[in-house]
A and B are shown apart, each in its own frame.
Chain A
């Protein structure tokens, strides 16, 4: 089954404790992206990757890191989480074709205390 998976689905952590949210897709997509969803703001792009070893900032990259060492994986790293990073996070992937559908993972709900 074609899908984007994320782990963990739920995470409660404390300020400053490094964490990684994994994202994996099995559709051989070149493009992958991370979004955060906040009430009243919709989804905002954090980082994206056009292909292996090619990443770039989205609209809200502060406090986040990413890497793309393999085509299928695109982990999101919070090296020193803060309460304002409490949010719902989605990973997405698509072909690099204009207008291509983006496929979304199920989401990771992160709470930083």
Chain B
């Protein structure tokens, strides 16, 4: 079965520091990868996605992620975080497995807490 592992359940960081949220997936087939953000009491919003091409993907709010096929990873990074980045972040994968290319398999989430 396909799975997504987010290696850190919580990441505390000070404002203006860099951050990396780690994500690994298990799949032997071609996949598409996503990062979603969930602000308190809101739905999920797409940060960025990897479909094909350049392995470095840039998203909204200064976030970027790098697809590494050999390590089956898709880590999310931001060089300098703000208080407003405090949220829960979900890594997700879809591919040519059960449910087709629209079914998202989510990781458990990483709670990013930015402190002043």
Q: Which residues of A contact B (CB under 8 A)?
A: 4, 31, 33, 35, 40-45, 48, 50, 56, 58, 90, 92, 94, 96-102, 104-107
Contact = CB atoms under 8 A, between A and B. Distances in A.
A92 to B, nearest CB: 8
B51 A102 contact: no
10 contacts: A35-B104, A42-B4, A42-B90, A42-B106, A42-B109, A92-B104, A94-B102, A98-B101, A101-B49, A104-B44
B: interface residue count bin: 20 to 34
Contacts of B43: 4, 90, 104-107
A99 B51 contact: yes
B50 to A, nearest CB: 9
A43 B90 CA distance: 9
B24 to A, nearest CB: 14
- Name which of B9, B43, B92, B94 has the most chain A CB atoms within 10 A of its CB: B43
B63 interface: no
B106 A44 contact: yes
B103 A45 contact: yes
B108 interface: yes
B102 A102 contact: yes
Contact of B108 (A42, A96, A97): A42
Contacts of B46: 101-102
Given A99-B32, A104-B43, A107-B43, A42 B107 contact: yes
Nearest to B45: A104
Nearest to A41: B108
B99 A58 contact: yes
B51 A45 contact: no
Given A41-B108, A106-B42, A107-B43, A99 B99 contact: no
A36 to B, nearest CB: 11
A78 B41 CA distance: 23
Contacts of B94: 98-99
A40 B103 contact: no
B9 A98 contact: no
